[in-house]
Amino acid sequence: MDIKNKVETLLFSSSVPLSVKDISDLLEMPGPVISKVVRSLVREYEKREGAIEVARIGIKYRIQLKPEYSELADRVAERELSREQLKILGFIAARDHTNRTDLRERFGSRYEVLSDALLEKKFITVKRVGNADIFAVTKKFFTYFNVNKKKLEELRSNNREGLNDAK
């Protein structure tokens, strides 16, 4: 089996982006060799000008659909998250220190079932702070949605009032 095909298989099959080191460890091959292969795959996919790309996320890579094709794919793709779960997830991501009261006021009693599903899928965590349960997004959220944590925090601070008061 060709090394390029092995790397491509790992990038395609992984549910999370992989670093050169991750791939190197999995294939038991030197990092510089893997780095060269990954760069070659990136160029190959760019040259094809297809709907799929090898995306770089920080120091990691994954094979994904190009953003401009997402809407079309949504018509047939099976959803891992429901629209209501996505709304709660977005609400939690947009606000610092979201608590159960915030969720209940915004989403009614159905928030419990929806947030439990998000907890089970590991998109959010809940931490007891004093008398309140505080919700936060997890590393899986940032990886899954290809969101930069620093950028999200910047948006929160620049739009603190607008985001926190949005209904």
Token pair recorded at residue 130: 């004093």
Same domain, 64 and 100: no
SS3 sequence of 30-73: CHHHHHHHHHHHHHHHHHHCCCEEEEEECCEEEEEECHHHHHHH
pLDDT of 47 reads: 96
Residues 92 and 50 in one domain: no
Task: Judge if 25 and 67 occupy the same domain.
Answer: yes
pLDDT of residue 34: 97
Print pLDDT tens along the chain (167 aa).
Answer: 799 999 999 999 998 889 999 999 999 999 999 999 999 999 999 999 999 999 998 899 999 999 899 889 888 987 788 889 999 999 999 887 899 999 999 999 899 999 999 999 999 999 999 999 999 999 889 888 877 788 788 777 776 545 444 44
Query: 50 with 87, same domain?
Result: no
Same domain, 104 and 58: no
Which residue do the tokens 């160029």 mark? 43
Q: What total of structural domains would you count in the chain?
A: 2
> Cβ distance 40 to 54 under 8 Å?
no
This prediction's pTM: 0.59
User: Would 118 be classed as within a structural domain?
Assistant: yes
- Neighbour count for residue 81 (Cβ, 10 Å): 16
Rounded Cα–Cα distance for residues 18 and 29 (Å): 15
Does 130 share its domain with 90? yes
CATH number of domain containing 46: 1.10.10.10
State the pLDDT at residue 119: 94
Is 53 in the same domain as 97?
Answer: no
Alpha carbon 54 to chain centroid, angstroms: 15
The reply to whether 78 falls in a domain is no
Same domain for 40 and 90, yes or no, is no
Q: Do 107 and 159 sit in the same domain of this protein?
A: yes
What pLDDT, on the 0 to 100 scale, is given for residue 143? 82
Q: Residue 26 falls within a domain, yes or no?
A: yes
Q: What is the pLDDT of residue 160?
A: 59
Report d(CA 13, CA 63) in Å as an integer. 9
Question: Residue 42: which domain range?
Answer: 3-71
